[in-house]
Amino acid sequence: MNVTVYLFSIAKEMAGFEEKKLTLNDDATIDSVYEYLIQSNSRFMDWKSTLRFAVNHEYVENDCRLRNGDEVAVIPPVSGG
């Protein structure tokens, strides 16, 4: 399946890209995306306890199963206001 991953803030800086189309196995979860991020920069390992993910604009847990066409977002702790 194919998903599009969007990155923001510090996650975008660490990865070095802000958008990436990924081809994943059909049983892929958010953890599969996380593993890809760690491969792009091992510093992502330090962020496991604080990084969150969203699928199609809703927060999800890391075991969330992905579907073809999903929009995945990598969301570091927010700091609006």
Partner 1 sequence: MIDITDKNFDTDKIIQSVITPESGAVDVFIGTTRNHSNGKKVVKLEYEAYNPMALKKMEQIRKEAHERWDVHNVAIVHRIGEVAVGEASVVIAVSSSHRHEAFEACRYIIDRLKAVVPIWKREYFADGSVEWSKATHTEKIKE
Q: Where along the sequence are the contacts to partner 1 (CB under 8 A)?
A: 6, 8-10, 13, 49-52, 54, 57-59, 73, 75-81
Taking the least distance from each CB to partner 1, the nearer of 21 and 57 is 57
Taking the least distance from each CB to partner 1, the nearer of 25 and 80 is 80
Taking the least distance from each CB to partner 1, the nearer of 68 and 79 is 79
Nearest to 24 by CA among 4, 6, 1, 5: 1
Residue with tokens 């066409």: 69
Distance CA 23, CA 53 (A): 18
